[in-house]
Structure 1
Amino acid sequence: MRGRRPEGKREHGGRRVRVVLAAGLALLAVGGCTELPYYAQAVGGHLAIMRARVPIETLLADPATDPVLRDRLARVQEARRFALSELGLPDNGSYRAYVALDREAVTWNVYATPEFSLEPRRWCFPAVGCVAYRGYFAESAARAYASELAAQGWDVYVAPASAYSSLGWFEDPVLSTMLQRGELSTVGVLFHELAHQRVYVKGDTAFNESFATAVQRAGVRRWLQARGEAKRLAAYTRALERRAAFLALLRETRARLAAIYARGGAP
């Protein structure tokens, strides 16, 4: 039957699920009682998304599917094929199903730094190493944890995320939150998250995000070139240049603040 995965591959995927869940249970055991709610929400939130997946081909074939959603999912399929044939990104079951979320973000990430410092707090996990954020599937839980940190004297920031990667352990779906900002954003996020599946260095957030962003930008450029969309490519290039100029200002400001903090002063 077309579109059906071979039995052997499906069984292998099941083993992956069991391995990940076993790892999650191990984390609960070593993390202590105070960490149990955090890992429970992470496992539960992810599995809830996995259970809600609907194959994109099913939605495209359903006459009841909203026409706007149909067009967006068809474009996702094109981008998925492009990622495989032109960018060398993983050929697996990721981004071949869709999940409609009832919220504006899939997760909310908590960031924290000491007062008068630019060095972020890092949280360490056996599966991915140490990262400079802590993610939650519920905004209320993220903000509650941020409030706890703030009460301890940390400067905190909570940021919504439209997508995340399970690094190939699961067949990640296309999320409704990935479709909110237009075609190039959706295509770029798709390339970005698949790049994480291709290369991921445990504990090195800066490299991982830099690599995925480089793949994303190069991929979007090649996507537009392949489609002969010179005007959109020029506009995309200008947008990247404006972003680069803005980031340069941020780096300059960061350096000035770092110098002030190093002298023991406040801004």
Structure 2
Amino acid sequence: MIRPLPSLGLLDRVLRVLFPGVLFLLLNGCASVSYYGQLASGQLQLLRAREPVAKVIANPQRDPQLRAHLAQSQKARVFASQHLHLPDNQSYRLYADIGRPYVVWNVFATQEFSLTPQNHCFPIAGCVAYRGYYSQSAARGEAAMQRLNGMDVSIGGVEAYSTLGWFNDPILSSMMNWGDERLATLIFHELGHQRFYVKDDTEFNESFATFVEQEGTRQWRASRGLAPDNGMQMRQRDQFIQLILDTRVRLERLYAQPLPAEQMRQRKAAEFERLRSNYRTMRESQWAGDKRYDAWINLPLNNARLLPFGLYDQWVPAFAALFRQEGGDWVKFYAAVEKLGGLPVAERKAALKALADLQNAGG
């Protein structure tokens, strides 16, 4: 049974009591007071903007397209809990108009000749390879400071994120340009994070949530009598990601060499030009000229722009094999995932590799 949402007045009183304590814990870390202050302020503003989706749908004065989109989202939300056994709470049964295209902007940074991200550690989420800002100007300011320090830097807008069950996460206005199915996949993915999360292991967490998203979407389509997706866009996405990963491998080999800085810069630039050339060849020979990734590839490239690739799907084949081993039973699958996540890091990665090899071998 779904718990009733407390009144906004009660919620505000709770937050006024809660946030000073949370801030006290956060500010005892090594990060700046101003950075954690904007995180707390941004999250609080988002929470206060929430309203029940049912209220929006029932209001004839609200935008009809918004109401229809939200109505479809709630069908996927019910499916997520009843059929995928994902958390049954108020997350994604709320809506928040944030008045901007992204909820946060993430800043990624690496050394000039390294693909190792500058990690940042937080009490709840653990260590991640970026810093998030609720203001685009603040993100740009951080990026400018990092560049002055000689770092490779990239800024990426984020349309949604999960608080891992600490709060009831809303559907955001930044998601409203998505189609109904894309919004459903987001709900499955983010609820996957709420279902299980391992601190300090981004590859595990994102691959797990991505598998839940992909298998959940397949079952969601089947439940509505829709034919399976032909997978063309997914294949193109996978091929594009593989180009990026291949470039990362070559750059890692390059950076391991004892070369003078100027020669290293020249060879680094040549690798990025090779990436662009390989992309254009693939686009024309295999995609019939489809230019969906042109905008990304034609922007200035550096190490930091390559960081997100591979994080979201590195272990998806491993989770697919595990799901099959558990007979496609979601409850048993989650129990197996929790057991896997409880292993020491080295054992966990070895187990994931064994599962991925099994899946990739077709057995």
Correspondence for 2:113: 116
- SS of match in other structure, 1:159: strand
Q: Are the equivalent residues in 1 in contact too, given 2:2–2:90 (CA < 8 A)? A: no
Correspondence for 1:205: 202
- CA 1:197 to 1:101, structure 2 compared with 1: closer, same or farther past 3 Å? same
2:228 is aligned with 1:238? no
Please show how residues 8-27 of structure 1 align to structure 2 within 5 Å: 18=17, 21-27=20-26
Separation in 2, partners of 1:170, 1:245: 36
Separation in 2, partners of 1:205, 1:134: 14
Separation in 2, partners of 1:18, 1:224: 43
- Unpaired runs of at least 5, structure 2: 269-363
Q: Are the equivalent residues in 1 in contact too, given 2:3–2:89 (CA < 8 A)? A: no
Correspondence for 1:179: 176
Report the alpha carbon displacement of residue 3 of structure 1 after superposing the two structures with TM: 7.9
Q: Give the alignment partner of residue 187 of structure 2, picking from 186, 190, 193.
A: 190
CA offsets 1:137-182 (integer angstroms, 9 cap, x no match): 0010011011111100110000000001111111111101122222
Separation in 1, partners of 2:90, 2:16: 14
RMSD: 2.4
Separation in 1, partners of 2:12, 2:168: 9
Q: Give the alignment partner of residue 85 of structure 1, picking from 82, 85, 97.
A: 82
Correspondence for 1:225: 222
Please show how residues 56-135 of structure 1 align to structure 2 within 5 Å: 56-135=53-132
TM-score of the pair, normalised by structure 1: 0.90
Deviates more, 1:147-156 or 1:181-190: 181-190
Correspondence for 2:135: 138
Separation in 2, partners of 1:155, 1:6: 44
Higher normalized contact order (CA 8 Å, seq sep 6+, divided by chain length): 1
- CA 1:12 to 1:142, structure 2 compared with 1: closer, same or farther past 3 Å? closer
- SS of match in other structure, 2:61: coil
Separation in 1, partners of 2:174, 2:74: 17
- SS of match in other structure, 1:58: helix
Query: Where has structure 1 moved over 6 Å in runs of 4 or more?
Result: 11-17
Amino acid at match of 2:242: A
Amino acid at match of 1:56: V
Q: Are the equivalent residues in 2 in contact too, given 1:17–1:169 (CA < 8 A)? A: no
Amino acid at match of 1:31: G
- SS of match in other structure, 1:234: coil
Report the alpha carbon displacement of residue 257 of structure 1 after superposing the two structures with TM: 1.1
Correspondence for 1:158: 155
Amino acid at match of 2:238: A
Correspondence for 1:40: 37
Separation in 1, partners of 2:116, 2:23: 29
Over the matched positions of the two proteins, sequence identity in percent amounts to 44
- CA 1:16 to 1:47, structure 2 compared with 1: closer, same or farther past 3 Å? closer
Report the alpha carbon displacement of residue 130 of structure 1 after superposing the two structures with TM: 0.8
Q: Give the alignment partner of residue 49 of structure 1, picking from 43, 46, 63.
A: 46
Separation in 1, partners of 2:218, 2:257: 44
CA offsets 1:228-247 (integer angstroms, 9 cap, x no match): 111xx323x22222211211
Separation in 2, partners of 1:72, 1:264: 56
Separation in 2, partners of 1:126, 1:52: 25
- Unpaired runs of at least 5, structure 1: none
Separation in 2, partners of 1:166, 1:26: 17
The structure with more radius of gyration: 2
Correspondence for 2:165: 168
TM-score of the pair, normalised by structure 2: 0.67
Q: Are the equivalent residues in 2 in contact too, given 1:89–1:194 (CA < 8 A)? A: yes
Separation in 1, partners of 2:97, 2:250: 44
Correspondence for 1:256: 250
Report the alpha carbon displacement of residue 23 of structure 1 after superposing the two structures with TM: 2.5
Report the alpha carbon displacement of residue 31 of structure 1 after superposing the two structures with TM: 3.2
Separation in 1, partners of 2:4, 2:111: 49
Q: Are the equivalent residues in 2 in contact too, given 1:110–1:158 (CA < 8 A)? A: yes
